[in-house]
Structure 1
Amino acid sequence: MSNDLNRRIGEWGKPAELWGLVREYIGLGRRRRREPVDNRIRLRQFLETRASFVAQTSLYGYLRTRTGMRYPELFDDDVFVRSINIAKWHIWLACVSDLAVYAGGLLVQRTSASIGEVENLIRELVEEVVTAAGSPADADEEFAAHAERVLGRVAQCDWTQITDDETAFSESPVALVRWAPVIDELKQLDEPIVKNSVRFRWQEIRRDLRRDLDAGAVLSSED
């Protein structure tokens, strides 16, 4: 699990790999098979895959828009690639954080489980996701501290206040603006559009989880 997740995320940025991810996600235009999220393993997989998808498409979509035809050439620049690698891990953590909080909110809304039960489950799943990523060689020295902040957000979350809308998705738009390797002057101009682009990408993810989540089954499952 750890090596596979690290490898998949570590390949981000190359145009061919990004297109492969998008193609896999959308099924080349075919309707994607619906899979119930009815146990803790499937919920963890949902968190991993959807967070990765939003992080990747948001970061590289922004870079591609900003650089145009020069986009493929940028990956020949070692300094730029290093900056992308740092950014991708921080944006990914922010996406995991947002989606985990949203998922926890749905569990509270749809079941009679105690807040403690939901918090424990979400914390365990986020810990597993972060542990699977390990200590990425291409991340920076702030990665571990950021991962701890994600866990801290889960621990301090007021689950009764999480609503079924975009409110939980507060970290990922900010992370893209902060970490994308684009000069500050341009990011200031782009900020409203960039943040909205991330929020837009979460809409389908929310619809999927809202539709496919069997909250009671997840909370009663042992694996």
Structure 2
Amino acid sequence: MTQPHDTGGARSRIAGFLDTARDYLGIGGRVRREPVRDPEALRGFVSSRASFIAQTSLYGYMRTRAGQRYPELFENDGFVELLNAAKWHMWLASLSDLSVYAGGLLARGGMAEDRVGAMMRGQLERTLDETGVPAEADDGFVEHAGRVRARIALTPWSQVGDDEGCFHESPAALVRHAPIVETLMRLDEEVVRNSVRYHWQEVRRDLRALLDAQAVDRAFAD
């Protein structure tokens, strides 16, 4: 059990939680905005941005809510356990939303709907297989992953709009899973949902700019 005054341990935990955000943001010149011209590049984009949105949305909200007491929370093992579980639910929800949006872009770019469906299902399975069931995840992770699979299997790709309409799972996941008392979340819910949707705007702009739908279609093998 972490002791109440183990500030070094708390700092270490915070630093670990921010690794994905640092990589995505390119601290030290590592920003990644490469063209997306094949299925593997698209899978990398979707997975990395899902991780980024999941962590920055969750930790940003908790930091705002806790204020100056934010570092103290990481000295509590119970809180850290809940936060880690929430992180993985946010990742699944973000993966779901961005996969739907990406598939919609491919369909509007001229890729046949059945090919979009086959490719997005395959890319999702590869990502989930590589991730497995994280040790930090809770008992609901597998069931949640199943819901993501079902959504991708049933999405009518040609009907996905180029807007925030398909980004509804990630805001809902933050409201449901963030480790904060229910009375406070009721007060924050509208702001929380809008904040997550706002965080997706840059990701959507990047994917629109970087995605070559015709090249991805040519590179895809059923």
Q: TM-score, normalised by structure 1?
A: 0.89
Residue 162 of structure 2 is aligned with which of 161, 164, 174?
164
2:124 maps to 1:101:
no
Unmatched runs of 5 consecutive residues or more in structure 1: 1-12
Q: What secondary structure is seen at the aligned counterpart in 1 of 2:134?
A: coil
Q: Tell me the residue number matched to 2:62.
A: 63
**8 Å Cα contact 2:119-2:220 kept in structure 1:** no
Q: Summarize the Cα distance change of 1:93–1:70 in structure 2 as closer, same or farther, 3 Å threshold.
A: same
Between 1:202-211 and 1:154-163, the stretch displaced more is 154-163
How many pairs were matched up?
A: 210
Q: Tell me the residue number matched to 1:80.
A: 79
What letter is aligned with 2:99?
Answer: A
Q: Summarize the Cα distance change of 1:137–1:27 in structure 2 as closer, same or farther, 3 Å threshold.
A: closer
**8 Å Cα contact 2:46-2:95 kept in structure 1:** yes
C-alpha displacement of 1:28:
3.7
C-alpha displacement of 1:26:
2.4
Unmatched runs of 5 consecutive residues or more in structure 2: 1-11
Q: Higher relative contact order by CA 8 Å / sep ≥ 6: 1 or 2?
A: 1
Q: Distance in 2 between matches of 1:148 and 1:58?
A: 23
Q: What secondary structure is seen at the aligned counterpart in 2 of 1:76?
A: coil
Q: Tell me the residue number matched to 1:210.
A: 208
What letter is aligned with 2:97?
Answer: D
Residue 145 of structure 1 is aligned with which of 143, 146, 153?
143
Q: Tell me the residue number matched to 2:6.
A: none
**RMSD (Å) for aligned C-alpha atoms:** 1.7
Q: Distance in 1 between matches of 2:177 and 2:204?
A: 24
Q: Tell me the residue number matched to 1:199.
A: 197
**8 Å Cα contact 1:37-1:213 kept in structure 2:** yes
What letter is aligned with 1:173?
Answer: P
**8 Å Cα contact 1:18-1:57 kept in structure 2:** no
Between 1:130-139 and 1:182-191, the stretch displaced more is 130-139
Q: Tell me the residue number matched to 1:91.
A: 90
Q: Tell me the residue number matched to 1:40.
A: 39
Q: Which aligned runs of 4 or more in structure 1 are off by greater than 4 angstroms?
A: none
C-alpha displacement of 1:14:
3.0
**8 Å Cα contact 2:98-2:167 kept in structure 1:** yes
Q: What secondary structure is seen at the aligned counterpart in 2 of 1:147?
A: helix
Q: Tell me the residue number matched to 2:49.
A: 50
2:123 maps to 1:125:
yes
Q: Summarize the Cα distance change of 1:121–1:72 in structure 2 as closer, same or farther, 3 Å threshold.
A: same
Q: Tell me the residue number matched to 1:110.
A: 109
Q: Between the two proteins, what is the percent identity of the paired residues?
A: 52
Bigger Rg, which one: 2
C-alpha displacement of 1:129:
1.0
C-alpha displacement of 1:33:
5.0
Q: Summarize the Cα distance change of 1:52–1:174 in structure 2 as closer, same or farther, 3 Å threshold.
A: same
Q: Tell me the residue number matched to 2:4.
A: none
1:42-101: CA deviation from partner (whole Å, max 9, x where unpaired): 101001100000000000000111111111111111111111111111110000000000
Q: Summarize the Cα distance change of 1:78–1:19 in structure 2 as closer, same or farther, 3 Å threshold.
A: closer
